[in-house]
Amino acid sequence: MNIDIYSILVLFSSKAFLYHDLLNVKELFMAHEANTNLLQWLAKEIPEEIIEPSLPIVDPHHHLWDLRTYDDEILRAFQHKVYLCEEITDEIRFSGHNVVQTVFAQCDAFYRASGEEALKCVGETEFVNGISAMSRSGRYGYPEVCAGIFSYADLRAGKDVERVLSAHLAASNNFRGIRSAFPQDLNNTFLDGYAVLGKLGLSFDNYHPDYERLPALAKLGQKFPEVTIIVNHLGGKIDPNNAPKGIARWRECINEISKCPNVVMKLGGAQQRVGSWEPPFHNNLRRSPIGSGELCDLLYEYYIYAIEAFGPDRCMFESNFPVDKECVSYRTLWNTFKLIAKKAGLSATEKTAIFSGTAQRVYRLSQT
């Protein structure tokens, strides 16, 4: 393993060094070799004091995976290759933030290798249920990791998708819904499959980098008001250098989807690359990680617009880790969200909703 000892010396010599930065050292020495390049870059971060360290947080969107043997071109491009129970719990415990629960987000992890094609996706829920059991043991710390799970099912199967969704439910008591794409024409076969979500009380997460699809998603929400839709990552690709015309169109699409009372918005994911495009604070474009103040200033206009369109009780901050880890540390990201909440002038009740309450309600998590 090639460890950059200079990064470690810089970390310890910093006057701002905190106990929480032991995570950087631990990760660098104990990490899977496949992760080390990214961790070396993150170790160059100037440590920040934790803002409101006691504020309870539910992280409603993170992944778990081992990408070292994946063939999928998109997944193979992610830099943090191994992210399992120990990685996410260490991320949380040493961040300094009071993350009490998390929700696992679909990422095609550990599908079954054999059996019926339609049921292979159930392997992801089976895998995450095991991680949840590991978390509940307390051996990895006390955040409740994967208290909720959303995986995948192909709604294009129509009514037959019910047996796939039932298999997910049988695989874990924490299964709450799915994330998938949807056809622009909202054809009847897909709608038959989507209706099963309402029948079983399941939610529908959705993400597409093209925010122009949000009005079509709004039509789907209007057809099935009993199904909760969770829009991921501010509704699409977020570019801090977007032209005014592009920002105006994004706002129009946000306005359209926000009119559906059964739709909620995840505030985050703006730190991820999309295809070959990378945000200006990506590790491929910066010598050292961005700070929370600078990140807040760059992206605030997007966050505040979504918050005002949906209201804090229909919004939830998300980490989207380890995808967004290519741009920012877990500690700095949640500091950024807290700066956004402060700048927005959110009340204590509104902060409770946007940092934990909305996620607990939408994903039906136990109150901690």
* Domain annotation covers residue 120: yes
Whether residues 11 and 110 fall in one domain:
no
The pLDDT assigned to 31 comes to 55
25, 47, 69 — which closes off a domain?
Answer: 47
User: pLDDT per residue over 93-117, tens digit each?
Assistant: 999 999 999 999 999 999 999 999 9
Ranges of H-type helices in the chain: 5-13, 22-30, 36-42, 73-76, 85-93, 122-136, 161-171, 188-200, 214-223, 244-258, 292-310, 330-343, 348-352, 358-362
Mean pLDDT on 238-257: 97
Whether residues 309 and 344 fall in one domain:
yes
CATH of residue 238's domain is 3.20.20.140
* Domain annotation covers residue 261: yes
Structural domain for 32, as ranges: 1-47
Specify the number of domains making up the chain: 2
Whether residues 204 and 306 fall in one domain:
yes
User: pLDDT per residue over 178-225, tens digit each?
Assistant: 999 999 999 999 999 999 999 999 999 999 999 999 999 999 999 999
- Residues 303 and 308: their CA atoms lie apart, in Å, by 9
Whether residues 83 and 209 fall in one domain:
yes
Mean pLDDT on 276-293: 96
Whether residues 19 and 52 fall in one domain:
no
The pLDDT assigned to 141 comes to 86
Whether residues 133 and 22 fall in one domain:
no
With pLDDT > 90 as the criterion, what percentage of the chain qualifies? Answer: 85
The whole-chain average pLDDT of the chain stands at 91
* Domain annotation covers residue 367: no
* Domain annotation covers residue 213: yes
* Domain annotation covers residue 368: no
Whether residues 147 and 289 fall in one domain:
yes
Whether residues 248 and 145 fall in one domain:
yes
